[in-house]
């Protein structure tokens, strides 16, 4: 299944190039789909993962669906249990990034690149989406 991540990224890039999307939006979409598909692979026991792009006048929505209903990790943020310093206590040394929790780092990237993103769980599985 790890081969599905580069394949999804490549297909997203191809589709968006065909639509004439600007290069910076294509690269943002490639990074986002990489993170969302990677999370789907890591957090589901099924081999069935779907990735879909929806284009509208407002932009592009990236959707990743899997049959699992495992909890999606929340984005890591300062002051939580990720090991980052609390506000007012600056990080020092080269290991500041090493203290980030394994779960949620990729979603920080999704949060930074997407206009908005979210997740929805149902009996049939879980959908995670991001708008760019």
pLDDT tens track, the chain, 132 positions: 557 899 999 999 999 999 999 999 999 999 999 999 998 888 777 778 999 999 999 999 999 998 865 555 555 554 444 334 344 444 444 554 554 455 567 889 999 999 999 999 877 788 999 999
Distances (CA, A) of 108 to 8, 45, 47, 73, 76: 20, 24, 25, 10, 7
What does the DSSP 8-state code read for residue 122? E
User: Quick one: tokens of 62?
Assistant: 């990236």
- The pLDDT assigned to 14 comes to 97
- The pLDDT assigned to 79 comes to 43
CA 88/CA 90 separation, integer angstroms:
6
- The pLDDT assigned to 53 comes to 96
H helices present in 19-119, as ranges: 23-42, 105-113
CA 66/CA 54 separation, integer angstroms:
17
Beta-carbon contacts of residue 16 (< 8 Å; ≥ 6 apart): 25, 26, 29, 53, 60
- The pLDDT assigned to 46 comes to 73
Supply the pTM of this predicted model: 0.73
Beta-carbon contacts of residue 59 (< 8 Å; ≥ 6 apart): 25, 115, 131, 132
């Amino acid at each position: 299944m790890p081969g599905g991540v580069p394949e999804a990224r490549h297909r997203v890039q191809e589709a968006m190039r065909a639509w004439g999307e600007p290069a910076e939006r294509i690269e943002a979409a490639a990074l986002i789909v990489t993170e969302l598909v990677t999370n789907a692979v890591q957090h589901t026991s099924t081999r069935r993962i779907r990735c879909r792009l929806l284009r509208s006048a407002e932009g592009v929505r990236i959707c990743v669906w899997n049959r699992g209903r495992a909890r999606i990790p929340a984005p890591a943020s300062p002051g939580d249990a990720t090991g980052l310093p609390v506000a007012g206590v600056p990080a020092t040394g080269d290991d500041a990034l090493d203290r980030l929790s394994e779960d949620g780092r990729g979603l920080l990237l999704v949060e930074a690149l997407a206009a908005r993103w979210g997740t929805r769980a149902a009996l049939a599985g879980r959908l995670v989406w991001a708008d760019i």
